Chain A
Amino acid sequence: MIHVIIIILLSVVMIVMAFVAIHHKNLQVAVIASGIISLFASVIYIFLAAPDVAITEASIGSVITVSIFFYVLNKIRHEDIKK
């Protein structure tokens, strides 16, 4: 039963974060929110008996994707200031 409650909480946070990611004005907040979705999905994968997928999603979805997004956002901001 405790599994069900944890997964319901994680799902609700994921869906809220999806809305934040799409509708927030600030792009950095949106990127962080999409990283949070990946991180919480990786917790759900452990409950769904998929530890391999959980490790992959945690290391790729919430670290590497977010840092690539931030590199591009930083570059865009610099070029925007210059113009």
Chain B
Amino acid sequence: MKLFEIEYISLIAGFILLIVGLWGIISQRNIIKMIISFSILDTSVHLLLVAVGYIRNRTAPIIDSSVNKLNAANEITDPLPQALVLTAIVIGVGITALLLTYALKLFRQNSSLEINQYKSLKW
């Protein structure tokens, strides 16, 4: 059964979280809510990438006593998506901090967090 394998369940969860995050970004009017939605989107993309790298019945990509060194390519999961996600998470927290700084700046200028109140670009 295709549905009841852990990588498919993780894929479904990742896709739903991605859609919810996208919906939050484009439908919310509060800037902090938009940043929270962005961090949900971030987490969902990491979950999707790790789930794509998973191969059933294999262990983590660490060569220790549980893995035969000569046959390592047939016993470990894909290490490449994990390495990419590792850097993506750290960059994600930097981007979130930067977004929050800009939100604070905007709040100081306009004393509101709602984007409906920002009228400086309307004419």
Residue positions of A touching B, CB distance < 8 A: 3-4, 7-8, 10-11, 14-15, 18-19, 21-22, 27, 30-31, 34, 37-38, 41, 44-45, 47-53, 56-57, 60-61, 64-65, 68-69, 72-73, 75-76, 79-80, 83
On whether the beta carbons of B40 and A49 are closer than 8 Å, the reply is no
B58 — which chain A residues lie within 8 A by C-beta?
49
- Cα–Cα, bound, A15→B90 (Å): 23
Interface residue tally on B, bucketed by range: 35 or more
Does B4 lie at the interface of the complex (its beta carbon under 8 Å from any beta carbon of A)?
yes
Known: A7-B9, A15-B20, A49-B60. A56 touches B86 (CB 8 A): yes
A83 — which chain B residues lie within 8 A by C-beta?
111
On whether the beta carbons of A3 and B46 are closer than 8 Å, the reply is no
Known: A48-B51, A50-B60. A79 touches B90 (CB 8 A): no
Known: A30-B33, A47-B6, A79-B107. A11 touches B12 (CB 8 A): yes
B82 — which chain A residues lie within 8 A by C-beta?
50, 52-53
Residue positions of B touching A, CB distance < 8 A: 4-7, 9-10, 12-13, 16-17, 20-21, 23-24, 28, 30, 32-33, 35-37, 39-40, 43, 46-47, 50-51, 53-54, 58-62, 77, 82, 85-86, 89-90, 92-93, 96-97, 100-101, 103-104, 107-108, 111, 113
